[in-house]
Structure 1
């Protein structure tokens, strides 16, 4: 074990010696010489090197190479604007040297891991920083530069050329004009301005009108997030009534006991909820009444609109002039006629001497079966006779003989 540890230490020391150059260049901020590291991050990537010294990097808590914040991965201007930090670092050579010496002494007295100056006094984070924070490495910045010979049409290396064969950026694009000092001081940074505009236009979660809704939808769980992980995060906002995990859809439904707890959880978690390295989707749930309305109006239970199936026949329109709910229309009578008038207009059924008097029993129904249709001569004009109305074709005689 000791031999392996010594071998790893030796290899690490050799790697550091091969990538660093002691006091090779001056810092682009304080102009003091510092140890420069130079390395290649991967295959077909351009070589990277440190641009500022460790003192300037620790004063702003930024990377020595890309000058992005070490905690959020954002430009300094975005971080300072979100945290309302006013940079008071001097710009002149004499004052800058004096300020740097004092800050270096403060860094040595501290543990060296926490930021100093105005950034060290900032206590809380910002919602905008949590929304814009980068959670994955951005390898695009390691791409090689554009080949100037290819732009002129004179590159003869072909695929062996270590530079990019792409069209250069439009010179009118504001992202093409970047200055390392402006990025460090947090002024006139085009990348920061782009991110700040994105932060102001980011979507927000509207509160549902139904006050009975206390459920939040959590999407994008994956397979490594469990019920306990969700409970450990959401218990701080209020009492949780139930947590329902749907592994097939990789989502969960968290129901709070109070509407106030659900609103607080939605406000603190929307677009900034990260559990086990995964950014999760937070939305409001819907009531059962809203789901039923959406389904009747052509929406599924998940809220997606249902498209019509091609090739299916359309619904047949009802017959014009006929109302199947009213029996008067079968005999072309006035819908306002009384039941007695409707009954008197019918001929007596066969086998009965006289029809039942008006007012006794239903006028349209008889114990011997449905009445036969009137003769053709007595039928009013425009009346339609359906074969199913004929009692001889409906098994009336069979039923009568069986009853006899």
Structure 2
């Protein structure tokens, strides 16, 4: 194989914006997918293809006969599928027998002979009324396909932006609105409530530290701690255990003000806030958790400044 500057018959989608990319040429490297004759294979990489190289799969004679790209086999001028192009030309009554005849035989030698005849005919073919008519039809067809593709891409981008916007704003706002940041340690009137909302949990707070403290007051049936969100929920199996837990926090000497969430110092070094609250969802994605965590930090600052 050798490195060359020569450029095969490939379209812009396959070669990319750079028309002077380096290619590797392999003479008689493979059989043409259409006429089965050995042909010179070209391989290359574009800026967008990464480590995966592209190559030609049909010979230049077949590409010229079908006026298509040697790599993707789209019409080289209008970038539309050959089946669609040929169907449009057939409906318009324009002769397209060359391509049909070439693919009608399964005999390798017959295909090769037809390809040679095709090349000879293409060299002698001049401009005609049919050629002008075909160009007009294909131009309109390409414009419609491009317009449709453009609309689909715009719709897809709008949907992605909408989904991202929902995650960043609406969904997180709904989650935050249900979290009891303004709750207290006063026992709720509903005796079935046995859970607490705990927030201000930094990444360095081990979950076992929280669970060890809670188990002093009774058995827990649920403990959900999301460190990225800096908060979580703790639920006891009995109301008595929950009330003992709340009473211990009220009497720990750190909560002279009963008008805000109780302050608890875990393991004598991890300050957190605790309030009664029913279990609520804390989001599913890292983006949601991080946004909740930012709000938690703001609430902690407000509580620290509140007298």
* Structure with the bigger percentage of helix: 2
Task: Calculate the TM-score normalised by the size of structure 2.
Answer: 0.34
* Structure with the bigger percentage of strand: 2
Higher-Rg structure is 1
> Looking at both structures, which has the greater relative contact order when contacts are Cα pairs under 8 Å and sequence separation is at least 6?
2
Task: Calculate the TM-score normalised by the size of structure 1.
Answer: 0.26
